[in-house]
């Protein structure tokens, strides 16, 4: 189904699509509620690379250093990465992800991050049960 015109023009895709929501900054939503990921990606082996990539973002670095203190954004990334890793009880550093509703996009069990990351991916079963029980406000 075509939705948008693109430049250059592209044919519509008919493959399954999975949308993921990244964790919010501070690991809380706009109402200060702690957000628990539905799945975790182990980033321990690439943490130094992530830090270097973030530090190389020159315009962000200049603005954040001036507004929040020298390298505070790098420390915040490390702190949040460790906190998400602790949630897994298995990874030192991790990213948290929440899958968007599959309706209209793919089947309910389609999870390409799981398929790509294997042992470096951990599904939060308590979160999944909570979705079924309607535990989220």
Query: Is the model more confident about 4 or about 36?
Result: 36
Buried b or exposed e, range 70-95, using 16+ CB within 10 angstroms: eeebbeebeebbbebbebbeebebbb
Summarised one tens digit per residue, pLDDT across range 79-119 is 999 999 999 999 999 999 999 999 999 999 999 999 999 99
Of 46, 50, 40, 47, nearest in space to 96 by CA: 40
Cβ–Cβ under 8 Å, residues 131 and 75: no
Q: Any idea where the domains of the chain sit in the sequence?
A: 20-133
pLDDT at position 62? 81
Indicate left, alpha or beta for 104 from its phi (over 0: left) and psi (-120 to 50: alpha): left
Read off the pLDDT of residues 28-80 as tens digits, 9 standing for 90 and up: 999 999 999 999 999 999 999 999 999 898 888 888 778 877 778 889 999 99
- Tell me the residue ranges of DSSP E strands in 1-137: 20-22, 39-42, 94-99, 121-123
Q: What is the pLDDT of residue 137?
A: 56
Q: Which residues contact 28 (CB under 8 A, 6 or more apart)?
A: 34, 35
């Amino acid at each position: 189904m075509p939705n948008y015109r693109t430049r250059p023009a592209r044919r519509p895709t008919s493959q399954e699509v999975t949308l993921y929501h990244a964790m919010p900054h501070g690991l809380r939503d706009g109402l200060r509620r702690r957000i628990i990921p539905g799945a975790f990606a182990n980033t321990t082996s690439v943490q130094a690379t992530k830090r270097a990539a973030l530090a190389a973002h020159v315009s962000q670095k200049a603005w954040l250093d001036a507004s929040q203190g020298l390298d505070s954004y790098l420390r915040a990334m490390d702190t949040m990465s460790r906190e998400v890793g602790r949630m897994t009880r298995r990874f030192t550093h991790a990213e948290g992800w929440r899958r968007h509703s599959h309706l209209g996009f793919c089947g309910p069990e389609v999870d390409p991050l799981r398929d790509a990351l294997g042992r470096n991916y951990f599904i939060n079963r308590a979160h999944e049960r909570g979705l079924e029980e309607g535990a989220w406000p």
